[in-house]
Structure 1
Amino acid sequence: MIKIAKFGGSSVADAEHFKKIKAIVDADPARRFVVVSACGRRFKGDTKVTDLLYLVSAHVKYHVSCEDLLKDIGQRYFDIADELELTYPIREEFAAFAERASTGGYSTEELVSRGEYFTARLMAEYLGLPFLDASKVIAFHHDGTLSMRRTTELVEEYSQQAGFVMPGFYGATREGQIKLLDRGGGDISGSILAKCLGADLYENWTDVSGFFSADPRIVPEAQPIARVTYEELRELSYMGASVLHEEAVFPVREAGIPLVIKNTNAPQDPGTIISETADEGAAEPIITGVAGKSGFVAINVARDRTKPRIGFMRRALSVFERYNVSVEHMPTGVDRFGAVVQKEDVNDSLYSLVADIQKEVEPLEIEVVEGLALIATVGRNLRGRAGISGHLFGMLGQAGVSVRMISQSCDEINIIIGVDEKDFELAIRTIYRAFSDENGIVKVADLDEPSTIDLGLASLTK
């Protein structure tokens, strides 16, 4: 059995976390392939090594001294090596790196990648595993896009080893030019490795015990989700429930490899298993989770009934395309539609965009509604069940939350509402508590009666 164990920045922050990782890896012989991020925050107010390296790059670009920054970064690694009594010549290696970095000898991408590189070098020695530089196996095209075919071929060359430690976040072109994945790309590196090795499980180790059914900062009683499908994960991640990089799920999903989110600080916790389907026959929650985010704008466009209906919406939407603005949701009526967009996407162009819509379709009216928050109630057990929406909206009404927009996907795994930003947290708490008991445990759906949900309200059943 092969398990890919990827440890995020918070899991490799200092020597104490290195010790926790060793205990985790030693506890299971299947954990032979390890991927690590750069050292993360050690405490509140601390700075990630990756952020410090980006700052070094900016200092070099503007000819500002980065000596103190490099000293701080180096000391992070020296402290780990000293406490764990490692023999890797980190002081000499880092001194050579710092000298070249301070004189502009690296591209930004190569400079930043050294955070993962040095972390992995120390981790490899501490775990007693070979070090494999990601630049040897994670292959990029010259334009910065990943070459999955060539990466698979290169990984297979090393797959016969008993295991290795590989830095995440970067790879290289055929010419040896270092390229970075997106921020959080260490998760993607682990997922790519899992697919290429045909792993049985991809473990993503972080500082939380999986996905929670709601943000614990808003709903203190929210519980970890035991199992979530990739489809549900996509919906929750889009709405801000981010524990791992969104792109990290695609390689393992394509390969049919389950992914589990685990807590480095509490390895005994079961975490959250993410797979293509849920366990058949298992007790299923009514909802999987509630997530949301604020910062949306709705642009509502009403058709002048003297104008043709055909092509009206297409021509209006073409304006958003010209402005490179993604329309997130689009509630519609007979002669009216709303385009919900992220405020940050139209901060500098909102009035020009509205003016161009006016010119393009000559609408009866255009209304701009700012200060919107979107909230998604997500669950595979929402499909075909009577009473869910009625209960949800009834509870929101009792709480005094005005619903400004309603949308549901055609596969019925989510219900999305728009509310005023001032009602954002109240709405999330209300929805979560509408489907959970007094202990915060989400109620279980009756799988034998797919068209009913027992919420303690007989009037909600067919």
Structure 2
Amino acid sequence: MIKVVKFGGSSLASAEQFKKVGDIIRKDETRRYVIPSAPGKRTPKDTKVTDMLYHCYGQAILANDDDDCEEYQRSFEDLIEKIKERYQEIIEGLSLELSLDEDFKVIKENFSKKIGRDYAASRGEYLNGKIMAAYLGIEFIDAAEIIFFDEEGNFDDKKTDEAVAKRLENLERAVIPGFYGSGPDGKIRTFSRGGSDITGSIVAKAVHADMYENWTDVSGFLIADPRIIPNPKAIDVITYRELRELSYMGATVLHEDAIFPVRKEGIPINIRNTNSPEDKGTLIVEDTCRKPRFIITGIAGKKDFASITVEKAMMNGQIGFCKKVLEVFEDNGISIEHMPSGIDTMTIFVHQDEFEEKEQKVIAGIHRAVEPDFLELESDLALIAVVGRGMRATRGTSGRLFSALAHANVNVKMIDQGSSELNIIIGVRNHDFQPAIKAIYDIFVNTMI
């Protein structure tokens, strides 16, 4: 059995956390390939090393562009020393005979040469990977040697898959830092923030892993946001489709791009808690015959949307009507979040901050494109997704949902259910966002306990 294990920044923020990680890896010999993130926050007021590196690189550029400015040079050198101290503290706490002096010398030189923000950001994972490899006594592989991007900066999955598989073919164990790779010119390229999740998924696919464990500071996914629902129940098993729906609506524990490589191979992902390794966490799978604990799997949502309702008699009989309306939004560079429709109406939900500056152009464009009978704008709206594979086999789900919202005095502005019966999208006013989520959680979870 092969497991790929990725550890987030909070799991590797200090020597104490490193020791927890070491215990987890040594406890299970099938945990063979380790993907570390850069050190995260040790305390709520602490700074992540990646943010320190970004700031340090910014000071290096200012110092380089202004030769007379000693202040920027001092700031740059002070920040380098502070970053070095963070790593030295971990090394000493682990009683390792390891020196990163030469690495920091190279980093300092490259920062001064303005080598790039991607390079700067990647050094957090790179250095943590070297410490992790020394601590575990296994081989370190620079991700730049096996993770590749094309000339446009897009991930090159074919080249990477072949390189990772070949490099690890005869290697029992290894540490591969997350978040970055290299382009055709050899320069460092990075994924978006949180991209260490993607690296772990890529490695899991390439080695045909049996499991991809993603260790963080929470025991898996929760049914609802703990900032709204006190101590919400955890999700035991969730399908990729359910996860995609919840992630789209703002539920974030795993980088959403980390799903696709392992999904293609049918490799399950296990979200685990470094600080509570005995917890089973959440298992993410392609599909399952396991019955969910509750009718719904999760609730997630976002606020601050605007809606544009376009009404025209016999709209459904006009070929290309919707296309013409959507082209107006495309021409103005506005992304569409949701689009419920009726026989003679269609409503487009967009992010309010994107839409406000261009609203009059959009209105004029729609009038020119389709000559609507009526057009109405609404603002300060929220969208809530109620997701669950259990809804398909349960009659009366929508009725219970509406009843709960009515009882909580929440006015529903829109409701839309996908043909897969996997999710129901509800539109409410911003001020009804939290009351709606509490009412939904209460009817589908609390009443079922």
TM-score band, normalised by the shorter chain? over 0.9
Question: What's the secondary structure of 2:330's corresponding residue?
Answer: helix
Instruction: Report the Cα distance in structure 2 between the residues aligned to 1:144 and 1:314, rounded to whole angstroms.
Output: 31
Counterpart CA distance in 1 for 2:346 and 2:22 is 56
Partner of 1:3: 3
Paired residue for 2:35? 35
Q: 1:360 aligns with which of 369, 386, 389?
A: 369
Identify which range, 388-397 or 308-317, moves more after superposition: 308-317
Deviations 1:137-181 (CA, angstroms, capped at 9, x unpaired)? 112212211222211221122221121111100111243211111
Matching of residue 392 in structure 1 with residue 392 in structure 2: no
Relative to structure 1, the CA distance from residue 226 to residue 307 in structure 2 (aligned partners, 3 Å threshold; closer, same or farther) is: closer
More displaced stretch, 296-305 vs 120-129: 296-305
Q: Write the letter of the residue equivalent to 1:32.
A: R
**What letter is aligned with 1:40?**
G
Alignment-derived partner of residue 202 in structure 1: 212
Quick one: which of 112, 117, 141 aligns to 2:126? 117
Q: Distance in 2 between matches of 1:30 and 1:311?
A: 55
Q: Following the alignment from structure 2 to structure 1, what is the Cα–Cα distance between the partners of residues 216 and 56?
A: 26
Does the C-alpha gap of structure 1 residues 307 and 421 become closer, same or farther in structure 2, counting only changes over 3 Å? closer
User: Which among 201, 207, 211 is matched to residue 221 of structure 2?
Assistant: 211
Instruction: Write the distance in 2 (CA, Å) between the matches of 1:100 and 1:43.
Output: 30
Letter in 1 for 2:425: I
Residue number among 137, 143, 157 corresponding to 2:146 in the alignment: 137
> Which whole-Å CA distance do the structure 1 matches of 2:109 and 2:343 have between them?
66
Choose 412-421 or 315-324, whichever is displaced more: 315-324
Alpha-carbon distance change, 428 to 283 in structure 1, aligned in 2, over 3 angstroms: closer
**Corresponding residue of 2:425:** 416
Q: Root-mean-square deviation (CA), in Å?
A: 1.8
> 1:278: which partner in 2?
288
Counterpart residue number, 2:256: 246
**For the Cα contact (< 8 Å) 1:78–1:91, is it kept in 2?**
no
Aligned counterparts of 1:228 and 1:85: Cα–Cα separation in 2 = 40
Given that 1:303 and 1:312 are in contact with CA atoms closer than 8 Å, whether structure 2 keeps it comes out as no
* 1:381 positional shift: 1.2
Residues 361-376 of structure 1: matches in 2 within 5 Å? Answer: 361-376=370-385
Contact 2:316/2:344 (8 A) holds in 1:
no
- 1:31-87 Cα distance to aligned partner (Å, 9 max, x none): 110001111111112221112222223333344442232222111111111111222
Q: Distance in 1 between matches of 2:315 and 2:286?
A: 49
Judge conservation of contact 1:81–1:90 (CA < 8 Å) in 2: no
1:77 to 66, 70, 87: 87
Partner secondary structure for residue 176 of structure 2: strand
Instruction: State the secondary structure of the residue aligned to 2:259.
Output: helix
1:52 aligns with 2:62: no
For normalisation by structure 1, the TM-score amounts to 0.91
Deviation for aligned residue 1:242:
0.5
Deviations 1:281-304 (A, max 9, x none): x46421101111112111111226
Distance 1:120 1:367, change over 3 A: same
SS in 2 for 1:135: helix
**CA pair 152-100 structure 1, distance change in 2 beyond 3 A:** closer
Are the counterparts in 2 of residues 2 and 201 from structure 1 also a CA contact under 8 Å? yes
In 1, Cα distance between equivalents of 2:334 and 2:235: 33
Which of residues 319, 334, 348 in structure 1 aligns to 2:357? Answer: 348
Question: How far off its partner does 1:388 sit?
Answer: 0.6
Structure 1 residue 416 displacement after superposition: 0.7
Aligned amino acid, residue 265 of structure 2: A
CA shift, 1:314, in A, is 1.9
Q: Distance in 2 between matches of 1:58 and 1:323?
A: 33
Contact 2:223–2:233 (CA<8 Å) still a contact in 1? yes
Distance in 1 (alpha carbons) for counterparts of 2:93 and 2:314: 76
1:298-337 residue pairs with structure 2 within 5 A? 298-303=307-312, 309-337=318-346
Q: Is the Cα–Cα contact under 8 Å of residues 2 and 30 in structure 2 kept in the other structure?
A: yes
SS in 2 for 1:33: strand
Residue 115 of structure 2: aligned partner: 106
Q: Per-residue deviation at 1:348?
A: 3.0
> SS state of the match for residue 419, structure 1?
strand
Alignment of 1:220 with 2:230, yes or no, is yes
More displaced 10-residue stretch of structure 1: 19-28 or 58-67: 58-67
Matched-pair identity in %: 46
Q: Which has the higher helix share?
A: 2
Secondary structure (helix, strand or coil) at the match of 2:431 reads helix
Gaps of 5+ in 2: 64-71
Distance 1:284 1:417 in 2: 23
Q: Does 1:164 align with 2:174?
A: yes
CA separation in 2, counterparts of 1:110 and 1:32?
A: 27
Aligned to 1:23: 23
Structure 2 partner of 1:405: 414
Structure 1 residue 22 displacement after superposition: 0.3
Further displaced range: 224-233 or 327-336: 327-336
Asked whether the 8 Å contact 2:295–2:394 carries over to 1, the reply is: no
CA gap 1:322/1:306 in 2 versus in 1, 3 angstroms: closer
The aligned amino acid for 1:303 is K
Is structure 2 residue 198 aligned with structure 1 residue 185?
Answer: no
For 1:230, the aligned partner's letter is Y
Normalising by structure 2, we get a TM-score of: 0.93
- Looking at structure 1, the residues matched to 316 and 389 of structure 2 have their Cα atoms a distance apart, in angstroms, of 42
